[in-house]
Amino acid sequence: MDNSNQANSYHEKIQQVMDEVGKIVVGQDYMVNRLLIGLFTQGHILLEGVPGLAKTLTVNTLAKVLRLDFKRIQFTPDLLPADVIGTMIYNQQKAEFEVKKGPVFANLVLADEINRSPAKVQAALLEAMQEKQVTIGEETFKLQKPFFVLATQNPVDQEGTYPLPEAQMDRFMMKVYVDYPTKDHELEVMRRMANMSFHEEVKPVLEVQDIMDIREQINQVKISESLEKYIIELVFATRYPGEYGLEEEAKYIEFGVSPRASINMNLAAKATAFFQGRNYVLPEDVKEVAVDVLNHRIMVNYEAEADSVTTRDIVNQILVKVPISN
Element (H, E) at 9: helix 3-24
Note whether 10 and 18 are within 8 A (CB).
no
Element (H, E) at 175: strand 174-177
Element (H, E) at 153: strand 148-153
Note whether 279 and 10 are within 8 A (CB).
no
Query: How many CA atoms within 13 Å lie on the side-chain side of 52?
Result: 7
Q: In the 3-class helix/strand/coil scheme, how is 41-89 assigned residue by residue?
A: CCCCEEEECCCCCCHHHHHHHHHHHCCCCEEEEECCCCCCHHHHHEEEE
Which is it for strands 253-255 and 86-91: parallel, antiparallel or unpaired?
unpaired
Note whether 77 and 93 are within 8 A (CB).
no
Which is it for strands 133-136 and 299-300: parallel, antiparallel or unpaired?
unpaired
Q: List the one residue out of 107, 99, 95 whose CA is nearest residue 82.
A: 99
189-204: burial string, b at 16+ Cβ within 10 Å, e else: eeeeeeeeeeeeebee
d(CA 183, CA 84): 38
Cα distances (Å, whole numbers) of residue 99 to 80, 102, 107, 144:
16, 9, 19, 17
Helix 29-40 to helix 208-219 angle (10° resolution) is: 80
**Positive/negative CA dihedral, 300, 306, 310, 315:** negative
Residue type, 19: D
CB neighbours (10 Å) of residue 323? 9
Q: What's the pTM?
A: 0.88
CB neighbours (10 Å) of residue 18? 17
Q: List the one residue out of 43, 18, 40, 3 whose CA is nearest residue 150.
A: 43
Beta-carbon contacts of 15 under 8 Å, excluding residues fewer than 6 positions away, are none
Tens-level pLDDT at each residue, the chain (326 residues): 556 677 778 888 888 888 888 888 888 888 889 999 999 999 999 998 877 767 778 888 888 888 888 899 988 888 888 888 888 787 777 777 777 888 889 888 998 888 888 788 888 888 788 888 888 877 888 888 888 899 888 776 555 667 787 878 888 999 998 888 888 888 888 887 777 666 677 888 888 888 889 999 999 999 999 999 999 999 999 999 999 998 998 999 999 999 999 999 999 999 999 999 999 999 999 999 999 999 999 999 899 889 888 999 999 999 999 998 76
Q: Walk me through the domains of the chain, giving residue ranges and CATH numbers.
A: 3-194 (3.40.50.300), 221-321 (1.10.8.80)
